Amino acid sequence: MTAQLEVSKATLVENAEFSLTSRDLAVITRIMLKEAGISLSGAKANLVYSRLAKRVRKLGLGSFSEYCAMVESDTGTQELGEMIAALTTNVTRFFREPHHFEHLREKVLPGLMAQARAGGRIRLWSSACSSGPEPYSMALTILNVMPDAYRYDVKILATDIDPNVLATGEAGIYEESALEPVPMGLRKTWFSPLNDGSGRMRANDELRGLVSFRKLNLIGSWPMRGKFQAIFCRNVVIYFDSDTQEALWSRMMPLLEENGALYIGHSERVSGPAEALLANDGITTYRRRRNGELK
Ligand SMILES: C[S@@+](CC[C@H](N)C(=O)[O-])C[C@H]1O[C@@H](n2cnc3c(N)ncnc32)[C@H](O)[C@@H]1O
């Protein structure tokens, strides 16, 4: 018993400024799974330490045990959000996995844009949008085939759990180097230099107007009622355990219109009952089957 206690108190990161014990790591792992669906299993002590040490320092705390106690206290809600933001991976880029945007342009948008011109309601969802390159790449693909799309009822919902990345997306300001994957013609038409000497570029009003950024936890409740003609859910379920992944795909199905497109990340796969409702339509690309219901 004493030996066990000693083990749980021992710090997992040598010569560190703050002690991080296996018990702290277990608490953080449990919170991340419950609150964000994120599985930190494999106990990545160094990763957890490096991402959260600045929070412990900023709050003037002496150890990760104090930090865990704070996050779990009645007044810990705000810090819980900071913790989730610090432990999520936000890597993204414009036109990442370009075959998805080719599929959208060639197979999905021609029909949808005709519908939009006839007064139809067109909705696309970027469900883990990070700092915005994914939903803006969707919007740029739309503007490429229909440059006046912003005059119609065409909208992209861009959601993420992390308010910091949403603020970047909302501002629509990026380093010029980040825009390299954007074809020059689109870059020149839909972005303008910021003129503050920083060399950064800002998405123009029309481009920003197509995208609405909202905070949404994929494992929480969803306010959306209307269906989407395309859903991008890319490079996020890899952080979830298999039960959470299955449940998420099942929840998405009623929100995907018949024949609607689902795009997932290169190392991800659809699992569980949703699989039977989807037909493969290219690399990590699916279409919602007609007349399919979840059993
Ligand atoms: C690696 S980025 C992927 C961004 C983009 N989809 C792409 O493929 O480039 C993963 C994003 O998922 C978000 N995320 C993680 N867990 C989430 C959850 N439970 N609900 C909503 N977003 C979540 C993170 O904040 C992060 O911005």
The residues lining ligand 1, judged by C-beta closer than 6 Å to any ligand atom, are: 36-38, 88-92, 96, 128, 130, 134, 160-162, 165, 217-219, 234-236, 239, 265
Final residue in a domain of this structure, among 87, 112, 143: 87
Token code pair at residue 52: 């959260």
pLDDT of res. 8: 61
Distance (Å) from CA 160 to ligand 1 centroid: 6
Looking at the fold, whether 105 and 237 belong to one and the same domain comes out as yes
User: Whole-angstrom Cα distance, residue 10 to residue 15?
Assistant: 12
| Cross-strand partners of 262 | 231, 286
Sheet holding 228-233, edge to edge: 211-215, 154-160, 122-126, 228-233, 256-264, 285-288, 278-280
Percentages helix, strand, coil for the chain (3-state, rounded to 5) are: 50, 20, 35
Distance 2 CA to ligand 1 centre (A): 41
Asked if residue 79 and residue 217 are part of one domain, the reply reads no
For residue 288, count other CB atoms closer than 10 A to its CB. 24
The total number of structural domains that make up the chain:
2
Task: In the chain, count H helices and then E strands.
Answer: 12, 10
Boundary (domain end) residue, out of 62, 87, 112: 87
235 is in an annotated binding site: yes
End-to-end CA distance of the chain: 49
291: exposed, middle or buried (Cβ count in 10 Å: 0-12, 13-18, 19+): exposed
**How far is the centre of ligand 1, averaged over its atoms, from the C-alpha of 195 (Å)?**
31
Q: For residues 66 and 11, what is the distance between their CA atoms, to the nearest angstrom?
A: 14
Q: Which of 57, 159, 140 is nearest to 101 (CA)?
A: 140
Structure tokens at 51: 């991402």
Does residue 26 sit in the same domain as residue 157?
no
* C-alpha separations of 291 from 53, 113, 124, 254, 277 in Å: 51, 24, 21, 11, 9
The pick from 97, 130, 134, 251 for probing ligand 1's pocket by mutation, whose C-beta has the most ligand atoms within 8 angstroms, reads 130
CA distances in angstroms from 226 to 167, 185, 210, listed in the order given: 25, 33, 17
Single out the residue of 250, 239, 234 nearest to residue 293, CA to CA.
250
261 in a structural domain: yes
The pairing of strands 201-203 and 173-174 is antiparallel
- Please state the φ and ψ torsions of residue 47, each to the nearest 5 degrees: -65, -45
**163 CA to centre of ligand 1 in angstroms:** 11
Assess if residue 92 is contained within a domain: no
30 & 116 share domain: no
74 part of a folded domain: yes
* pLDDT of 38: 95
Instruction: Please report, for the domain that includes residue 38, its CATH number.
Output: 1.10.155.10
Residues 71 and 103 in one domain: no
| Residue 290: predicted pLDDT | 85
User: Is 217 marked as binding a ligand?
Assistant: yes
Cα(127) to ligand 1 centroid in Å equals 8
* Both tokens assigned to 246: 């299955």
Ligand 1, residue 233: give the atom nearest the CA: 6
Annotated binding-site residue? 96: yes
In tens digits, the chain (295 residues) has pLDDT values of 454 545 566 778 878 899 999 999 999 999 999 999 999 976 589 999 999 999 999 999 999 999 999 999 999 999 999 999 999 999 999 999 999 999 999 999 999 999 999 999 999 999 999 999 999 999 999 999 999 999 999 999 999 999 999 999 999 999 999 999 999 999 999 999 998 999 999 999 999 999 999 999 999 999 999 999 999 999 999 999 999 999 999 999 999 999 999 999 999 999 999 999 999 999 999 999 987 666 5
Domain that holds residue 234: 98-288
> Strand pairing partners for 87?
none
* Judgement on whether residues 122 and 49 belong to the same structural domain of the protein: no
Residue 295 lies in a domain: no
From 40, 87, 88, the mutation candidate for ligand 1 (largest count of ligand atoms within 8 A of CB) is: 88
Which residues are catalytically annotated? 51, 160
- Is 2 annotated to bind a ligand? Reply is no
